[in-house]
Structure 1
């Protein structure tokens, strides 16, 4: 092939945007899809990674523990009636979040702010920090 018959390699023959287009991030999914399809399975897998059974997880809208205001939440239960709630004040992973825990079938008495200083919320961050919080309770693995 002669030099003049070779295709252009300077990118002029194709749009630059098509070459650099990135697939949407998981966090770009709608909230009501992100939580049950991505967050909950990733959370269950990470908790099981500590050697325990998979938690029972439910995603619902209802009254926030302790204060009773409406929120979206992931409710989880681990063996020994250990329960936790990850609450979102709005249908967005970037909304204000709180976490509550309760042991032995009791009701939670404290609501803690969760990930308040983070500028960019990601699936990995939500999972790792919630699992870190549960491990801090000594609920995971052979603590």
Structure 2
């Protein structure tokens, strides 16, 4: 090795500055990742009410409650969370059989202040529910009952 090479290798180099990677922005959790009751009370129920009002159902009352399903044959089933809608002499219920927006859901409706006689599955093909999708399916289901538009 030449003298220059020996001298160059013996000269200490200043330590390389360590660059810290920029801090990642922490994303707030998605609405759908919130606890079930919080999501339903703060997001789904108010958003559904607003969407129904935009469709012309001004006097609709929506409640989010935990209760038994009021259909004959379901008396022995445990209570489940429900979104209950009332407008004059018409009622509907969206049932959440699990405390999970991606869990099993059902629907029933009745008129003339009668108890519903049938229960139907609701959103059975959707693996991942979102707020927008749940509201869309609710509107489509109610429109199928002629609540939103007459054919």
Flag whether TM exceeds 0.5 (same fold).
Answer: yes
TM-score normalised by L of structure 2: 0.78
1:90 aligns to 2:95 (yes or no): no
TM-score normalised by L of structure 1: 0.82
SS at match of 2:108: strand
1:127 aligns to 2:135 (yes or no): yes
Q: What is the CA–CA distance in structure 2 between the aligned matches of 1:113 and 1:94, rounded to whole Å?
A: 13
Answer yes or no: is the 8 Å Cα contact 1:26–1:34 preserved in 2: yes
Q: Of 41, 45, 53, which residue of structure 1 is paired with 2:50?
A: 45
Answer yes or no: is the 8 Å Cα contact 1:52–1:140 preserved in 2: yes
* Partner in structure 2 of residue 56 of structure 1: 61
Unaligned runs of 5+ in 2: 1-18
Unaligned runs of 5+ in 1: 1-10
- Give runs of ≥4 in structure 1 deviating > 3 Å: none
Q: What is the CA–CA distance in structure 1 between the aligned matches of 2:125 and 2:87, rounded to whole Å?
A: 28
Q: What is the CA–CA distance in structure 1 between the aligned matches of 2:91 and 2:140, rounded to whole Å?
A: 15
Aligned length: 129
Larger Rg over CA atoms: 2
